[in-house]
A and B are shown apart, each in its own frame.
Chain A
Amino acid sequence: MDKLSVKNGKWLGAYAFILGIGYCAAAIVEAAGKPDIFPGGLLSIGVLLVVSATYLMGVKGLISGRRDGISFLMGGLLLSVAVGGLYLLMAGADWLMYLLGEAEDFALLSEISPAIILLVIALPLVPTMRRLTSKMAW
C-alpha cells in the first residue's frame, strides 16, 4: 500500500466530506419531494443516508492521514457503485420497457437520479484508490 500523505489525506478527506454531504442532501431532497414517503421512499432515503454515513465516518481518519479513513472511503465507493449502478440498470430497464411499448415515453433527464450523479462524482476516486491499494493482497 502506498503511503497516505497528510496532504493527500486532506484532499481525500475533503472529497469524502463532499460526497457524504451530497448523499445526505440527496436523501433530504428525496424526503422533501415525496410527501408520501411510506413505504417506498423511506427505504431509498435510508440507503442514501447509509452511504452518506460511510463516507463521513472516513473523513476524520483521512484528514489525520490514517489508513482507516481509506477503508471507509473504499466502502463508501463500493456502496456508491452498487446503488448508483442499480439506478443505472433501472434506467436501462425503463428504456427497454419503452422499446417494448410498455411505457408511453422515456425521458433520459428524469431517469438521472441523485445516486447516478453522485456515482459520477465519486468515480474519479477509483484511480486514486487503485493506486493506494495496488500492492495489497486480498
Chain B
Amino acid sequence: MSEYAENLSSALAQRRYERIASIVDAAVKKGRGEIFTLTDMLDQVFLNKHLGIPIFLTVLWTMFQFAFAVSEPFVVIIEKIFEMLGAWSGQAISDPHLASFVSLGIFGGLGSVLVFIPPIFGLFLALSVLEDSGYMARAAFVMDRFMYRLGLHGRSFIPLMIGFGCNVPAIMATRSMDSEKDRMITMLINPLISCSARLPVYVLIAGALFGAAYAGTAIFAVYALGIVLAVATALIFRRTLFRGEPSPFVLELPPYAVPDASSSILHMWSRGRMFLKKAGTIIFGMTIIVWFLSTHPWEETSGGQVIAESYIAWIGHAIEPVFQPFGWDWMAAVALLFGLVAKEVVVGTYGVLLGAEEAGLGEALVSQELFTPLTGFAFMAFVLIYVPCVATIGAIAKETNSWRWPAFALVYQTALAFIVSGVIIAAGRLVGLS
C-alpha cells in the first residue's frame, strides 16, 4: 500500500514539474547565459562541482573553530564565577549535609554543564548566520549529489543539519519528506548526527586530553565520524530494510542575503534556550540524583568524602567489566549509564564524582589518569553513538507511531557504539598508542 502511495506521489510530482517546465518554456525568455545577480555569481563558486564540497567543509571547520576556540575565555569566566560560588557556599553553610548538597550537587554538577553555554551558543550563532545568509540551502544542494550516491535523499540533509542542534526537532523535520522509506532512513540515522547535548562531553574530554590547539580538531573529527557513520548506516538500511531508489529532490534556493545581526542572535537564542531549559530541569534533577548516590550512605562515605563506599560506586563497579576492555573505569561506566537520560549528564556526573569545580574537571581527568588521548577519543565516539537520549527515543516513537523502531534504534546504536569504539582502541593500539 505504502509503495503504491509512493509511486502515486512520485507520478504526481513528475507531472507537476512537467507542467511547470512547459509554462516556464512558454513564458520565460532566456538571456545569453549572463550572470545577473550576486546570488548567481556566488552560486557559481559555492555550487561549483569541484569546489562546492571542499568549500562546505571549510565553512564547517570555520564554524566549529569559531564555536570552540573563540568561546574559551568566556568558558573561563563562567568557571571562575562558579568557583567563587562554590567557595562561598563551603564557608557560609555550616551544616555539612547541606554544604555538600549546594557545593557538589548544585555548583559541582549543574555548574559543570552550564560552562558549555559559550560554545553551544557560539555554534548556534554560526548556524543561524549560515541559515540567514542563504548558504545552508546551498549546502543541502551541494550534498545532494553526494548523498544520492549513498542512497540518501537530498531533503534528508536539512533534518540532518538540524540534528547538529537537537535530534528531536530534526526527527520532527522529516515530516517534510514525501517518501516513507527516505523518511524512515533519515529518522533512524539522525541520532548519529552529533547534537549539542553531546558537545559538553567532547569539549571536556578533548579540552583535557588534546589541548587547546587540537581540541577543536578532535571535536571536528567526532562530528565527521558521526556523519560518516550516518551515511554508511543509511547505505546499509537502503540496501536491506528500505530497498529502492531515493525519490527525486527539488529545492528552491533562496537568494543570498547579508545576515541581520538581531535576527541571527534571536535564532541563536531560540535554539540555545532549549539547552538552558534542559539544564534547569532534567540535568539539574539528574545531578541531584548523582550527588545523592555518590554521597550516601552518608556515614560510610564519611559525608561524601569516600566515593568508593557510595551507592554510585557500587553501581559503577557492577557494570565496569563491560567497559574495561576500552580502558574506561567505573566512573565512565556510571557517567554513560546516567547519560542515557540526557548526554550532558555525563559531564555533570563527572563533576559530582570527581568533586571538582568546572575549572578543575579537565585537570582532574588528566591527573587521575582516567583517560589517555586514545581511550578519551574512543569514549567521545561512544557518547556520540550509543543509545539516543530519552527525548529522541520518544520522538522516533511518536513519528513512527510504534515502539518497534525506537527499540531498533536503541539496539543498533548500542551495538554500533561498542564496535566503533572497539575498532578505535584496537587501531590505536596497533599503531602503538596506549
Interchain CB contact under 8 A, B38 and A138: yes
Interface size on A, residues (CB 8 A): 37
Question: Which residue in chain A gives the minimum CB-CB distance to B135?
Answer: A78
Question: Which residue in chain B gives the minimum CB-CB distance to A97?
Answer: B73
Contact among B45, B48, B54, B61 with A74 in the assembled complex (CB-CB below 8 Å): B45
Interchain CB contact under 8 A, B38 and A90: no
Question: Which residue in chain A gives the minimum CB-CB distance to B59?
Answer: A82
Question: Which residue in chain A gives the minimum CB-CB distance to B215?
Answer: A40
Which residues of B have CB within 8 Å of A117? none
Is A121 an interface residue, CB under 8 A from the partner?
Answer: no
- How far in angstroms is the closest Cβ of chain B from A35? 14
Contact among B35, B45, B57 with A54 in the assembled complex (CB-CB below 8 Å): B45
Q: How many angstroms from the CA of A49 to the CA of B318 in the assembled complex? A: 51
Contact (A100, B217) CB under 8 Å given A54-B51, A71-B44, A79-B55: no
Within 8 A of B (CB), among A98-135: 100, 102, 133
Provide the A50-67 mask, 1 if CB < 8 A to any CB of B, else 0: 110110010000000001
Is A6 an interface residue, CB under 8 A from the partner?
Answer: no
Contact among A51, A67, A137 with B34 in the assembled complex (CB-CB below 8 Å): A67
Question: Which residue in chain B gives the minimum CB-CB distance to A102?
Answer: B76
Interchain CB contact under 8 A, A67 and B41: yes
Interchain CB contact under 8 A, A39 and B218: yes
Interchain CB contact under 8 A, B72 and A93: yes
Is A68 an interface residue, CB under 8 A from the partner?
Answer: yes
Which residues of B have CB within 8 Å of A97? 72-73, 76
Interchain CB contact under 8 A, B62 and A93: no
Question: Which residue in chain A gives the minimum CB-CB distance to B71?
Answer: A93
Interchain CB contact under 8 A, A50 and B45: no
Which residues of A have CB within 8 Å of B73? 93, 96-97, 100, 102
Is A17 an interface residue, CB under 8 A from the partner?
Answer: no
Is A26 an interface residue, CB under 8 A from the partner?
Answer: no
Which residues of A have CB within 8 Å of B85? none
Which residues of B have CB within 8 Å of A92? 70
Provide the B204-226 mask, 1 if CB < 8 A to any CB of A, else 0: 00000000011011101100000
Provide the A68-93 mask, 1 if CB < 8 A to any CB of B, else 0: 10111011101100110010011011
- How far in angstroms is the closest Cβ of chain B from A32? 17
Provide the B95-114 mask, 1 if CB < 8 A to any CB of A, else 0: 00000000000000000000
Interchain CB contact under 8 A, B51 and A74: no
Q: How many angstroms from the CA of A54 to the CA of B73 in the assembled complex? A: 33
A-B pairs, 5 with minimum CB distance: A75-B45, A96-B73, A71-B44, A71-B41, A40-B214
Chain A contact residues, CB within 8 Å of chain B? 39-40, 42-44, 46-47, 50-51, 53-54, 57, 67-68, 70-72, 74-76, 78-79, 82-83, 86, 89-90, 92-93, 96-97, 100, 102, 133, 136-138
26 A–B pairs (Cβ distance < 8 Å), ordered by A: A40-B213, A40-B214, A40-B217, A46-B57, A46-B61, A50-B51, A50-B58, A57-B48, A70-B41, A74-B41, A74-B45, A75-B45, A76-B45, A79-B55, A82-B58, A86-B65, A89-B69, A93-B73, A97-B72, A97-B76, A133-B38, A136-B37, A136-B41, A138-B37, A138-B38, A138-B257
